[in-house]
Structure formats: C-alpha cells, structure tokens
C-alpha cells in the first residue's frame, strides 16, 4: 500500500452532536487529551479557573458558556488521524450543525443519562438518518443519577427509530455507580473518580467469572442485578452487525462519564475500530471516491473574524478525494477560475498551523477573499464537476435591521453581508427597493443576539432591530413563469427578494401558503433555497 493510500486510510472524520448540556464539549476535550493535543482539559463550566473549552473560541461563547458555531479539531491517536467536528448543541444554531454533518462520515450522539433523548437530539438525528450517517451513542453523566438503562435504550429506539446494540453496560449510577460491564471481554471495569483534568486514572478489570472479587468490589446486590440484566440483554438486544451500523440502521451504545474521564478511552477504541475510512461524495458526474480521483473538496462553512488581529475570513473545506499540497493550482468551479488556495491551515479551534499537505477526509481552513460560498466545489484545473449542494434551511424568525449611525452605512453593509455569507443569517430586501431596507431571517432567535453582538464588536456598528410577525418563507421555484406584480396573495403575505434577486414570499399564517397556491394555479413553492 502506498504512503498516499495509507494516509487516507488512517483518516476518521466525525461530528459530535447533542442537546445543550449533555457534556459534548467535555467529551471532545477528553478525546484531545488522549491524543496529546492538549495537556489539561478546561471545564466549560469552570468559572473558578476562568478556563474556557478549547473548542469555544468566539467571545460570545466564552461569555455565555455555550457553543454557537461548529469548530474543527484534529489530532493523532493510536495510528489514526482524527478530525472532530464539534457542533453547537443549542437549537438556535442547528443550521450550522446541519451543514457540518454534510462534512462528516459518522456522528457521535451524546445523551445525558438523566434526561434521555431531548428535542434537539431528535432534530439532528433526522439529518443523520436522511444522509445514512452511522451513529454512535455515548450515554454520559453516569456518575450522576441516571434513568433506568433499559428505558434509555427503549427511548432511543422509539424516539429515533434506530435499533440499539449496547457494547457495554452500566452498573448502577450516581453515588452508586460501580463501573461498566464489557460484553465482548465479559469483564467488569470498575469506576474510580479520576482527577478531572488528566487522563491517568485507575482502571481495574475483573472477569465476570471471578465472583468472589466482584462481590468485594461491586457488592452482591449489584452482581445479582448485573447477572439478570446480562441474561435479558443477551436475549433481547439487537445483534452486533457492522454492516447495519455503517448503514446507519443500528447504533452501538456506550456508557461513561466524560467529566470524570471514565469510559471515554474504551469508547474511543471501539469507535475507531467500527468507523470507516473517508466516504465518497455524490457529484453531478457520479460518486467521487477518496482514492480514485485527484484532489477535490467542497466548502461547508465560512467563518469571518476568527482572528481579531487579522479580520480575515476562513472557508472550511472538506477534502473528498486525493491529496492537497500547499501552492498547488486548483479550480474553483462556481467561480470558473484557477487559483492557489491561500494560507492553507489546520485549525485547532482558534489555533492555527499552516499546512504543507492534507488528504481526503481532512478538514482544512483556507483564506477566503470573499469569493467562496457554502457548497462550492474545488477540484483540479483539468477537472470540472459539482458536488451535490448543501441546502439552505428556511428561516423561521424575521426582523428589519437598521444601523443607528447613518454615516456607518458602508461598515453595516459589509458586516451584515459577511456574516450572511457564513450562512448563520439570511438577508432579504424589500421587493421594490434596494439595500435601504434590510430584513434578516434566522432559524433560531438567539442568532439575532449573535448578529447584534458581532456587528458591534467586529464592525463597530450599532443596530436597531424590529421583529416582524412572519414565520413562513417560500422560494418561488418557477419564477420565470410568474408575474409577481399580478400575484393574488393574502393580507398577511409580504413580497421580498434575496441578494441574488430571487423573489420570495413571507407569511404570518401557514394556511395562507395553501390559499396563495390555490389562487395562483401556475405558482410552485420550495421550502429550501439553493
């Protein structure tokens, strides 16, 4: 096997998804700890030490203690090169997570053992199912009182419609958490609360046949209960089937505590064995396989002002095939231009390292002079194809935005346009006017707060927002066939256009959508922008 092939085969690229507060960022940090990428994990909640999570780099994230954008982290572990896409858990930032899932080959779903499947988990999970992404479940916070284990598994199966296969099994929870039973080795790994920021912890393994020792360590009651649960488990749970896992039809389930560092490395070992090498991606010429084509990639995220000192924009690119080398010429297909990707870098949250090379499966950041859009394809100059696009999700909240100081019009337009290019907000204009009236649409209302914060802090522009009552937006699929001026609408309908001049309609009530379609037989709507 060539070095080139070996490099691609050792890549593993996955996203971590969860409801807020399930412990996702803590788990991510423990992975980095094992990979030697960081020496001390900063607890997200650790206000006393004022350490912030490595993956939360934006000022507003540090202030609020929540992740609002996805970040990318790469580290080496046990012969693998791992790319983690850490996503925001809060539902108001779910669009960023959807796009990030387009760049991942599998997903790790973190569930709080005391809360089970929560609303946001459901929503994100549907995206994984839609893309047939393999899902691995880590049930976290077992050092706190958790729900009944069978109930948790039952909930995952019912709520998310996926079969579960526990790889290990918890013994107790909270103050009575004794450890986990490993099904493949038929042994008990005992729990000890290790020092929270380090990876060294006492881990004792005892075979299930050594009853006397197990009685001493976990107690007779727990051992009896474990025997009964193992018998139930072996009879009732789905069989381990790697093909079903890789098709996203079966989720392997693990238990542990990211905060106390228990069960994390066990999970990592199993996970790396079960996940695949980088997967192919659909393009207009067919599937693009990592080893079969020269360099190709797509843009899945754009982030402005990651570095306040440089005021730059970074386009995050997922390499789909081949090898990238610094200085090589590539084609930006949508822009129809051959160029060199400037300042290619490996991103470690806000830390950066200039790269000489990268391979299929890797995520790299490149300097964006304002030419890239989310979903763009980059390939070799002699190639020309387009990867399947990344859909834009319909915003559900709208506001009219004006700058307070009319002298700062230029900064305001620049700031709001750059933030819009990142995909977190969408900008619209009044149907018959120019940029005088700007209407902003977002998936979650917290995005308005982030927009206000960023315009003030990054562009020195104060804004006033006026919330609008609209909740539904529709793109017009056959705009060439429709005369918008003669459209017979409803009293709660508003005509607007996007920055490309495409006409759109806003509605306050859902029933108005059907009524408008009934009154204009030639009209066709789409819920997604392209």
* Per-run averaged pLDDT (10 residues), the chain, 530 residues: 87 86 81 67 36 47 44 83 72 62 90 85 74 90 93 91 93 91 92 57 78 85 90 84 92 93 92 93 94 92 63 84 94 94 72 84 88 91 89 82 89 85 81 76 80 86 92 85 84 87 89 91 74
Name the E strands within 113-178: 135-140, 163-166, 168-171
CATH class of 397-526: alpha beta
Distance CA 16, CA 88 (A): 9
Query: What is the CB neighbour count within 10 angstroms for residue 130?
Result: 11
Please, which residues have CB within 8 angstroms of residue 209's CB and are 6 or more apart in sequence?
Answer: 186
Residue 292: the pLDDT is 87
Residue 212: the pLDDT is 85
Nearest to 196 by CA among 82, 26, 425, 337: 26
Provide the phi-psi class of 174: left if phi over 0, else alpha when psi is between -120 and 50, else beta: left
Strand 168-171 relative to strand 71-77, pairing: unpaired
Distance CA 499, CA 434 (A): 10
Query: What is the CB neighbour count within 10 angstroms for residue 22?
Result: 26
User: What is the reported pTM?
Assistant: 0.77
Domain ranges of the chain: 13-177+239-274, 281-379, 397-526
Please, which residues have CB within 8 angstroms of residue 472's CB and are 6 or more apart in sequence?
Answer: 394, 396, 506, 507, 508, 509, 510, 512, 513
Residue 307: the pLDDT is 53
Distance CA 465, CA 403 (A): 9
Distance CA 180, CA 169 (A): 5
What is the Cα gyration radius of the chain?
25
Burial of 441 (0-12, 13-18, 19+ CB in 10 A): buried
Residue 25: the pLDDT is 78
CA angle 126, 128, 132 (to 5 degrees): 115
CATH topology of domain 281-379: Elongation Factor Tu (Ef-tu); domain 3 (2.40.30)
Residue 311: the pLDDT is 60
What tokens appear for 47 in the block?
Answer: 């206000």
User: Into which CATH architecture does domain 13-177+239-274 fall?
Assistant: 3-Layer(aba) Sandwich (3.40)
Distance separating the N- and C-terminal Cα atoms of the chain? 41
Strand 106-112 relative to strand 135-140, pairing: parallel
The single residue listed with the structure tokens 């030419």 is 371
Distance CA 521, CA 504 (A): 17
Residue 14: the pLDDT is 93
Q: What is the largest CA-CA distance in the chain?
A: 85
Q: Which element (helix H / strand E) includes 158?
A: helix 149-160
DSSP state of 388: P
């Amino acid at each position: 096997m060539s070095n080139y092939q070996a490099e691609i085969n050792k890549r593993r690229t996955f996203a971590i998804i969860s409801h807020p507060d399930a412990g996702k960022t803590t788990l991510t940090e423990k992975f980095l700890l094992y990979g030697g990428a960081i020496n001390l994990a900063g607890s997200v909640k650790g206000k006393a030490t004022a350490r912030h999570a490595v993956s939360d780099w934006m000022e507003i994230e540090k202030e609020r203690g929540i992740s609002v954008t996805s970040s990318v982290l790469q580290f080496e572990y046990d012969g693998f090169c791992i790319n983690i896409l850490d996503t925001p858990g809060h539902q108001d930032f779910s669009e960023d997570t959807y796009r990030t899932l387009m760049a991942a080959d599998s997903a790790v779903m973190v569930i709080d053992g005391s809360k089970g499947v929560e609303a946001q988990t459901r929503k994100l999970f549907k995206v994984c199912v839609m893309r047939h992404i393999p899902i691995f479940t880590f049930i976290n916070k077992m050092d706190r009182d958790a729900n009944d284990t069978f109930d948790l598994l039952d909930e995952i199966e019912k709520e998310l419609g996926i079969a579960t296969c526990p790889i290990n099994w918890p013994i107790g929870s909270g103050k009575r958490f004794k450890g986990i039973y490993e099904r493949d080795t038929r042994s008990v790994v005992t729990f000890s609360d290790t020092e929270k920021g380090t990876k060294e912890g006492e881990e004792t393994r005892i075979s299930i046949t050594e009853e006397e020792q197990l009685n001493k360590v976990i107690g007779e009651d727990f051992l009896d209960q474990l025997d009964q649960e193992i018998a139930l488990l072996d009879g009732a749970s789905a069989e381990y089937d790697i093909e079903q896992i890789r098709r996203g039809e079966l989720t392997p389930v693990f238990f542990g505590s990211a905060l106390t560092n228990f069960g994390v490395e066990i999970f990592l070992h199993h996970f790396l064995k079960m996940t695949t090498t980088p997967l192919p991606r659909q393009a207009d010429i067919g599937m693009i396989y990592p080893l079969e084509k020269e360099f190709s990639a797509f843009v899945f995220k754009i982030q402005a002002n990651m570095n306040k000192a440089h005021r730059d924009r970074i386009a995050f690119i997922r390499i789909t095939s081949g090898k990238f080398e610094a200085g090589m010429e590539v084609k930006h297909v949508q822009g129809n231009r051959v160029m060199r990707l400037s300042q290619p870098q490996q991103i470690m949250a806000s830390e950066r390292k200039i790269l000489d090379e990268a391979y299929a499966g890797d995520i790299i950041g490149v300097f964006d002079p304002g030419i890239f859009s989310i979903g763009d394809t980059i390939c070799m100059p002699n190639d020309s194809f387009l990867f399947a696009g990344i859909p834009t999700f319909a915003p559900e909240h709208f506001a009219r935005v004006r700058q307070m100081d009319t002298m700062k019009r230029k900064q305001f337009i620049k700031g709001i346009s750059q933030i819009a290019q990142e995909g977190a907000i969408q900008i619209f204009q009044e149907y018959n006017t120019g940029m005088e009236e700007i209407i902003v649409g977002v998936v979650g209302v917290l995005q308005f707060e982030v927009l206000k914060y960023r315009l003030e802090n990054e562009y020195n522009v104060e804004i006033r927002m006026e919330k609008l009552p609209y909740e539904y937006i529709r793109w017009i699929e056959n705009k060439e066939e429709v005369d918008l001026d003669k459209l017979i609408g409803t009293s709660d309908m508003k005509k607007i256009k996007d920055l490309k001049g495409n006409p759109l309609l806003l509605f306050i009530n859902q029933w108005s959508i059907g009524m408008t379609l009934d009154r204009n037989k030639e009209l066709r709507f789409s819920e997604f922008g392209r």
